Amino acid sequence: MIKRTPLAAAIVLATLLSAPMARASERKGEGRARAAGKAPATQPAGAGLTFLAWSDQHVKTDGDGKHLEAPIDAMNKLAGTAWPEAIGGEVAKPAFVFGAGDITDWPTHASMRTYDALITKRLKIPAYDIAGNHDSGGKVVSATIHKWLIARHGALTYTFDAGGVRFLALHSMFDPDGKPAQPLTAESLARLRTQLAGTPKGMPVVLVTHLSFVSATNVGELVEAFGESNVILWMGGHFHKAAVGKHKRFNFIQLPSPKSEFPEVTVVRITPDRLVAIPWDYTRKAWTTDRRKILDARIRGPKPAAATRPAI
């Protein structure tokens, strides 16, 4: 039984992924992420790993992405912000920003160029993204965003390591004739099992898909695919609103969208024994106090770096 946050009715998405295009994309394979000009920012020893996450940016087909300027400017300024008292300390310099898909309303070259400029020039933090259903063009297929993602990260499904944690961006095709809530495909789950089998035993893993625990209809199959792997967090988007959930020992978050009525980005901190994820309201310049959106969990996180003895 999944513990879920009560949510508003699911947003009906305008464009969905066509099966032929999706299958071709799934056959692209997987790879290790390319730096795309910036490596994850180095963080002080003992501070854990801090990163930011958002989803469903929806740059317009004419390239209008002005609605992304405020959240990007806010993300640039988050370092040094005091955490809520229950956490303590200040937000460390984020290692990167992760976007969980639906970069565009529909994948035009204009929307791709706008988003690329925003995350490589205006955003001062390294960025990683995955494709959402809108990014494939729905029934009117366009490979523009898929090609851009492959050029940046080497594949639509890819991994990278930061702060002793493995991040796995998992692409899954979307049925254009289906409902907004759909299963992650058998192909993507098979790819997930392969990736987890190749991960060092006990290494913390953060999984990112476009569908979230609210919108994926086969969460049980996904959790079964985790097996004994140390998956400490599954992040997704798709429904535009921050939420948290848990199934067995696994933690889930749904990421906020700049297109929603809640102007938020999620700040995540991972330490050896604790995982915290809290949305930051960049209009009010305040942390959310809605417990349905806040994750604070005990985990088997990355091992602390060994102390270095001075040379004698």
295-298 and 250-254 strand pairing: unpaired
Two structure tokens written together for 38: 């910036």
- Domains of the chain and CATH, by start: 19-298 (3.60.21.10)
Q: Are 164 and 203 in contact (CB under 8 A)?
A: yes
d(C-alpha 147, C-alpha 156), whole Å? 9
Sign of the CA dihedral with 267 first, then 189, 25, and 134 last? negative
Q: Is 198 helix (H, G, I), strand (E, B) or coil?
A: coil
Q: Are 94 and 79 in contact (CB under 8 A)?
A: yes
Number of C-beta neighbours around residue 19 at 10 A = 14
Number of C-beta neighbours around residue 119 at 10 A = 24
> What is the chain's pLDDT, residue by residue, as a tens digit (312 residues)?
444 433 333 322 332 333 333 344 444 456 666 545 466 766 654 569 999 999 989 899 898 999 999 999 999 999 999 999 999 999 999 999 999 988 987 888 999 999 999 999 999 999 999 998 877 867 677 789 999 999 999 999 999 999 999 999 999 888 776 788 888 889 999 999 999 999 999 999 999 998 888 888 888 999 999 999 999 999 999 888 999 998 888 999 999 999 889 999 999 999 999 999 999 999 999 999 999 999 999 999 998 864 434 443
Q: Are 96 and 128 in contact (CB under 8 A)?
A: yes
Q: Of all residues in the chain, what percent are helix, strand and coil, respectively (each to 5)?
A: 25, 25, 55
